[in-house]
Amino acid sequence: MILVTGATGYIGSHIVKKLKEFGYNHVCGIDTKVHNDCIKYLTHLTLGDIISYSSGKKYLAIIHCAGYISVEESMKNPSKYYTNNLMGTLNLLNLDCYNFIFASTAGAFDPISPYAKSKIAAEDCIKERAKNHTIFRFFNVAGSNGEFGQIGPSTHLIRIAAEAAAGKRDSVTIYGNDYDTPDGTCIRDYIHVDDLAEAVVRSVENPSNKNYECLGSGTGYSVLEVLNTMRATTQQYYEYNYGSRRIGDPDKLVVDDLSKYLTIKQDLITMCESAYEWERRESIR
């Protein structure tokens, strides 16, 4: 049996479906509410939080995707992030499992925000207490498998750009244009959510037990490059403007050592296309 936390969220739902595709038929989930309707791929879904969750079951793997993820919010409310992201992980480590798989962040390489620091603290606890572990540092995850997508407030650039292309917002704000990069905007590494989900599933029976595994594409794109790719791919024009820098944003984050579990099948264009199609479809539901 496998347990997925944050099972109906954006990444969790893609992982749940991918587990089914790989032949894992006994998958339980926990989430605070149903975000994406992936229940048909689950044996059971528990509605609740990870801080109080308990179970007497033995798991082949716990895939821990639940957590707060906003850098900006964590700067304003750090205790919320440490409580959920760290204490929730500590509680899950009390469960019996062969491989504890953790969704960490590329922000851990340059931990400016409480969000990133809470993930590093959780990583340390996992390495100390888990029988076996696989820690994935996710870079910027984007796109859709066509069935599931990002729900709730938009915090990631490709989704924000997709919303603008789909007519859900009038413009996009670029936070800072004076970074130490060729065009002055931040450079990030983006990975399609389906490629990421497949890498996670490949690790279920093959724990890494390394400090971390990086899930990105190995290619960096600036904010301007992403916005212009979305425009060109969708043939939808939208405006962008410049705002002040956000606290906690480093100049550049790009993978330099891709995970052994990862096979890149999709590029920035397919990320933009699928994100746009998801937002366009959601807007007419």
Helix (H) or strand (E) holding 89: helix 88-92
Q: Which of 10, 41, 115, 179 is catalytic?
A: 115
Beta-strand pair 220-222/187-192:
antiparallel
**Residue indicated by tokens 């962008």:** 240
First to last CA, the chain: 35
Nearest in space to 158 (alpha carbons), one of 231, 248, 56: 231
**Residues whose CB is less than 8 angstroms from the CB of residue 39 and which lie 6 or more positions away in sequence, other chains included:** 8, 45
Assigned token pair, 243: 């705002």
Using DSSP's 3-state secondary structure scheme, residue 135 falls into strand
The residue type at 177: N
Using DSSP's 3-state secondary structure scheme, residue 211 falls into coil
Would residue 242 show up in a list of annotated catalytic residues for this protein? no
| Alpha helices in 96-210, H assignment, sequence order | 114-129, 157-165, 193-202
**Residue indicated by tokens 């309707």:** 37
- Residues acting as catalytic residues: 115
